[in-house]
């Protein structure tokens, strides 16, 4: 089987599993570093391998626009292009397209948009998104969905759910035409914070039998409590024998709370984005509490203690402060290594605690 549930916690809804992909088996729950444009910012593929991640997330929309499918196809796929031999998940590009509210138009068959790079017009359909992801060669391909804004009214959210289902049905037909394709396909549940619409979206998509199911349209402006409430009623109704993916989440505490509610997969720009601004995640405790520091603060100028006790123990906070203050690119690289290592160790801690009946 593609996904195997290994353990269900007796203390919460947390679970351990194994997800088999064309480029390796992944232990769940796991976090995916973001390689939007075929690179994790400031790091190499070897860096990610050393950190211990076995999967990256790349972006269909951005890769489609540049370098383009002709280049990626000529390179032999994204794995070869970026020299990454682990697994890759590609999102559908839907979120990026729908965030371009002034330069896109939703049509019954797909979404038409103008490139943010050169203004050229493009049409993404469920079929075309699958074709793009086949050329990319990702291990997990997301189905095109409609992601409403956090401020959308009930009618707009209901229409997004309806169209998401229609597009998923079209995608399923295309997938069924494929032969000997090892790529996995995940559908995306929408519905904002409306319980009835979320439940309807899940019921519609469950009937289509995808390899996995993602929860989209959260972490887009609602409160943490609203997000947790959605997970409280939605996760238990999601197929137990399929991986559950919460898209775009989140802070360490968001991840801990979502794992406790039965979520298996996560991605977020937070660790890499905040690293570029000098914010570091440090000192993860046994109770999952942690600290954040801004290394650009003057109090770190003469702090010669190690950045952390693991992968950057040879470098001091004072040195990293100096790198940021002088604009040396090495500063962002070291901060990114720190933050991703923190997130990946967080996931290892969660796996161990679930295994030992502590979470």
Please tell me the distance from the alpha carbon of residue 186 to that of residue 275, in angstroms, as a whole number: 30
Structure tokens at 201: 């979206």
Higher pLDDT, 193 or 151: 193
pLDDT in tens, 275-285: 999 999 999 99
Average pLDDT over residues 154-160: 95
Catalytic residue among 46, 267, 303, 353: 267
**Is a pLDDT exceeding 80 seen at residue 78?**
yes
pLDDT in tens, 172-205: 999 999 876 899 999 999 999 999 999 999 999 9
Nearest CA-CA partner of 130 in 98, 162, 163, 90: 90
Nearest CA-CA partner of 335 in 54, 40, 84: 40
Helix (H, G, I), strand (E, B) or coil at 122: strand
Q: How confident is the model at residue 113 (pLDDT cuts 50, 70, 90)?
A: confident
Q: Residue 180 has what pLDDT?
A: 66
Average pLDDT over residues 99-112: 81
Average pLDDT over residues 326-331: 98
Please tell me the distance from the alpha carbon of residue 29 to that of residue 238, in angstroms, as a whole number: 16
Please tell me the distance from the alpha carbon of residue 97 to that of residue 238, in angstroms, as a whole number: 27
Average pLDDT over residues 114-119: 87
Phi and psi at 27, nearest 5°, equal -85, 130
Q: Residue 101 has what pLDDT?
A: 63
Q: How confident is the model at residue 304 (pLDDT cuts 50, 70, 90)?
A: very high
Structure tokens at 86: 């682990």
**Is a pLDDT exceeding 70 seen at residue 85?**
yes
Nearest CA-CA partner of 87 in 166, 133, 23: 23
Radius of gyration for the chain, computed over Cα atoms and rounded to the nearest angstrom? 20
Q: Residue 105 has what pLDDT?
A: 85
Give long-range contacts, CB 8 A cutoff, 24+ apart: 249-254.
249/218, 249/219, 250/219, 252/281, 252/284, 252/288, 252/290, 252/342, 252/343, 252/346, 253/224, 253/288, 254/219, 254/224, 254/227
Please tell me the distance from the alpha carbon of residue 335 to that of residue 290, in angstroms, as a whole number: 16
Please tell me the distance from the alpha carbon of residue 318 to that of residue 301, in angstroms, as a whole number: 5
**Is a pLDDT exceeding 80 seen at residue 287?**
yes
Q: Residue 181 has what pLDDT?
A: 80
**Is a pLDDT exceeding 70 seen at residue 17?**
yes
Residue pair 63/78 in contact by the 8 Å Cβ criterion: yes
Q: Residue 65 has what pLDDT?
A: 95
| Residue 47 known to be catalytic | no
**Is a pLDDT exceeding 90 seen at residue 1?**
no
CA-CA distances (angstroms) from residue 343 to 53, 224, 337? 10, 19, 10
Catalytic residue among 46, 91, 145, 353: 91
Q: Residue 323 has what pLDDT?
A: 98
Structure tokens at 249: 């989440």
Q: What is the DSSP secondary-structure string of 28-49?
A: ESEEE-B-TTSS-TT--HHHHH
Q: What is the DSSP secondary-structure string of 4-18?
A: EEEEE-SSSS-EEEE
Residues in the chain: 359
Q: Output the average pLDDT for the chain.
A: 95
Helix (H, G, I), strand (E, B) or coil at 101: coil
Residue pair 9/53 in contact by the 8 Å Cβ criterion: no
Please tell me the distance from the alpha carbon of residue 301 to that of residue 244, in angstroms, as a whole number: 44
Q: Which of 47-61, 108-122, 225-239, 324-338 has the lowest average pLDDT?
A: 108-122
Please tell me the distance from the alpha carbon of residue 202 to that of residue 226, in angstroms, as a whole number: 18
**Is a pLDDT exceeding 90 seen at residue 108?**
no
Domains and CATH numbers, the chain: 3-267 (3.20.20.105), 269-354 (no CATH)
Q: In this structure, what DSSP letter does residue 168 have? A: H
| Residue 91 known to be catalytic | yes
The share of the chain scoring above pLDDT 90, in percent, equals 88
**Is a pLDDT exceeding 70 seen at residue 229?**
yes
Q: Residue 93 has what pLDDT?
A: 82
Q: Which of 16-25, 101-110, 129-138 has the lowest average pLDDT?
A: 101-110
């Amino acid at each position: 089987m593609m996904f195997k549930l290994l353990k269900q916690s007796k203390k919460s809804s947390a679970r351990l599993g194994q997800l088999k992909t064309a480029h390796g088996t992944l232990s769940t729950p796991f976090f995916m570093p973001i390689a939007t444009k075929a690179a994790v910012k400031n790091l190499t593929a070897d860096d990610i391998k050393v950190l211990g991640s076995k999967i990256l997330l790349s972006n269909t929309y951005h890769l489609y626009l540049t370098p383009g499918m002709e280049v990626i196809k000529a390179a032999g796929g994204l794995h070869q292009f970026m020299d990454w031999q682990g697994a890759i998940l590609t999102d559908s590009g839907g979120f990026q397209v729908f965030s371009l509210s002034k330069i896109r138009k939703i049509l019954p068959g797909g979404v038409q948009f103008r490139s943010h790079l050169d203004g050229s017009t493009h049409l993404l359909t469920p079929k075309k998104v699958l074709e793009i992801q086949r050329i990319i060669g990702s291990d997990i391909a997301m189905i095109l969905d409609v992601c409403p804004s956090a401020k959308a009214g009930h009618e707009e959210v209901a229409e997004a759910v309806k169209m998401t289902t229609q597009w998923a049905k079209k995608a399923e037909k295309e997938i069924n035409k494929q032969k000997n394709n090892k790529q996995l396909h995940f559908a995306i549940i929408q519905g904002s914070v409306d319980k009835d619409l979320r439940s309807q979206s899940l019921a519609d998509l469950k009937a289509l039998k995808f390899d996995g199911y993602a929860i989209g349209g959260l972490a887009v402006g609602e409160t943490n409590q609203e997000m947790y409430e959605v997970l409280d009623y939605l996760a238990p109704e999601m197929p137990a024998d399929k991986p559950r993916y919460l898209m775009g989440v989140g802070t360490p505490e968001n991840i801990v709370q979502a794992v406790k509610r039965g979520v298996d997969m996560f991605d977020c720009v937070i660790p890499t984005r905040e690293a570029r601004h000098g914010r570091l995640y440090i000192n993860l405790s046994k109770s999952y509490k942690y600290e954040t520091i801004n290394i650009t603060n003057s109090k770190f100028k003469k702090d010669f203690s190690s950045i952390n006790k693991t992968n950057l123990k040879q470098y001091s906070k004072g040195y990293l402060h100096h790198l940021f203050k002088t604009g040396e690119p090495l500063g962002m690289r070291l901060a990114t290594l720190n933050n991703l290592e923190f997130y990946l160790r967080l996931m290892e801690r969660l796996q161990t605690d679930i295994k030992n009946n502590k979470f």
